[in-house]
């Protein structure tokens, strides 16, 4: 069977791929607002829109409901994130069958983060320990799915070194992953070094940078502290100087993201995976500035 991962195909055909990542809102009003924000992004004909799977495995059915809506409302392929925290191996299989019934085209296969308040990852009894095991399960038993995996330009926080982390990334590719989507980063050189090291280690699938436009300073300080991404000093001090002016922080964030994305495109990335945070305005401004056509 031809492996269908859309961004892998974009990469092979030389076109520039876009994907947008959303998360399940907690309320019905949040859902309505989400669709209002997804609608303008769908006009950019993304390779897919993905929906996250809650930390600790908390959105078992919500992720699939939202994926179904993505394909029904916008005729865009849906990618469901899924983690080893989804249950025992039998429960993982059951969910993957369910994903198929919901029209999901690709799975972002992850180990998963522990739920809020829990510091370390603990494996479900009868479940899987690492993402490469989940990739292997999907690749062997659900060959109709394209498989994306996570990569970390500045190293996964728990990995002893970037080298070891890249060797573990290669296990995921060797197990059947079709493309790598990176953790957010703000230092493009870190991405380029990571990409070179991956290629040298034999990672031979598209490596797609993950970009999270900064919407406000407090939020991004929290996120980067958790994932270990460096905020360049110049960017931090500009955001700091904007103090409580949220509009100015947003403007600085978009201006930075435009420069970042233009530089990535110039340096031959196959596409960009945007962490949308369920708000479209920043992405729309970036895509317009990059001259990428929407409908």
Ligand X SMILES: Cc1cc2nc3c(=O)[nH]c(=O)nc-3n(C[C@H](O)[C@H](O)[C@H](O)COP(=O)(O)OP(=O)(O)OC[C@H]3O[C@@H](n4cnc5c(N)ncnc54)[C@H](O)[C@@H]3O)c2cc1C
Answer for which of 102, 156, 190, 283 binds ligand X (CB under 6 A) is 156
- Respond yes or no: is residue 21 known to be catalytic: yes
Using CB under 6 A as the binding rule, whether residue 174 contacts ligand X is answered as no
20 or 217: CB nearest ligand X: 20
Answer for which of 8, 137, 150, 254 binds ligand X (CB under 6 A) is 150
CB 215 within 8 A of CB 277: yes
CA distance 145 to 27: 29
What's the min distance (Å) between Cβ of 102 and ligand X? 16
Using CB under 6 A as the binding rule, whether residue 201 contacts ligand X is answered as no
The 3-class secondary structure across 54-121, one letter per residue, is: CHHHCCCCHHHHHHHHHHHHHCCCEEEEEEHHHCCHHHHHHHHHHHHHCCCCEEEEECCCCCCCCCCC
Mask for 63-92, x = binds ligand X (CB under 6 A): ------------------x-x---------
C-alpha to C-alpha distances, 172 to 126, 148, 204, nearest whole angstrom: 20, 9, 11
Q: Strand (E) positions, 112-201?
A: 146-151, 179-184
Using CB under 6 A as the binding rule, whether residue 168 contacts ligand X is answered as yes
Q: State the angle between helix axes of 188-200 and 246-266 in degrees (0 to 180), rounded to the nearest 10.
A: 40
CA distance 206 to 195: 10
149 or 286: CB nearest ligand X: 149
Using CB under 6 A as the binding rule, whether residue 175 contacts ligand X is answered as no
Cα-Cα end-to-end distance for the chain: 32
Q: Is 21 helix (H, G, I), strand (E, B) or coil?
A: strand
Mask for 223-252, x = binds ligand X (CB under 6 A): ------------------------------
68 or 165: CB nearest ligand X: 165
Choose one: 10-18, 25-33, 155-163, 191-199; the region binding ligand X (CB under 6 A): 155-163
Using CB under 6 A as the binding rule, whether residue 165 contacts ligand X is answered as yes
Query: Of 108-137, which residues contact ligand X (CB under 6 A)?
Result: 108, 110-113, 130-132
Q: How many CB atoms lie within 10 A of CB 167?
A: 14
Active site residues: 21
By the criterion CB under 6 A, which residues form the site for ligand X?
A: 52-53, 55, 81, 83, 108, 110-113, 130-132, 150, 156, 158-159, 164-165, 168, 171-172, 181, 183, 210
């Amino acid at each position: 069977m031809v492996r269908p991962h859309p961004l892998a195909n974009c990469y092979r055909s030389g076109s520039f791929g876009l994907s947008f990542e959303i998360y399940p809102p907690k309320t019905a009003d949040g859902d309505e607002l989400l669709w209002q924000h997804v609608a303008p992004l769908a006009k950019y004909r993304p390779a897919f829109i993905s929906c996250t799977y809650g930390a600790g495995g908390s959105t078992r059915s919500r992720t699939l409901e939202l994926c179904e809506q993505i394909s029904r409302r916008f005729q865009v392929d849906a990618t469901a994130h899924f983690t080893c925290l989804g249950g025992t191996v039998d429960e993982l299989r059951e969910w993957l069958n369910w994903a198929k019934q919901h029209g999901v085209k690709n799975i972002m296969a992850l180990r998963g983060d522990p739920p809020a308040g829990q510091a370390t990852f603990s494996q479900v009894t009868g479940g899987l320990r690492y993402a490469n095991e989940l990739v292997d399960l999907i690749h062997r038993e659900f060959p109709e799915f394209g498989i994306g995996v996570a990569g970390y330009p500045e190293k996964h926080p728990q990995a002893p070194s970037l080298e070891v982390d890249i060797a573990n990334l290669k296990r995921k590719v060797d197990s059947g992953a079709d493309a790598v989507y990176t953790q957010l980063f703000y230092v493009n050189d870190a991405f380029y070094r990571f990409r070179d090291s991956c290629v040298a280690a034999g990672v031979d699938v598209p490596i797609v940078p993950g970009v999270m436009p900064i919407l406000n300073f407090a939020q991004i300080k929290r996120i980067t502290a958790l994932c270990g991404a460096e905020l360049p000093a110049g960017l931090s001090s500009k955001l700091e100087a904007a103090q409580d002016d949220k509009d100015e922080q947003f403007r600085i964030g978009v201006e930075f993201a435009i420069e970042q994305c233009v530089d990535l495109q110039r340096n031959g990335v196959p596409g960009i995976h945007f962490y949308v945070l369920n708000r479209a305005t920043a992405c729309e401004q970036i895509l317009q500035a990059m001259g990428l056509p929407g409908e």
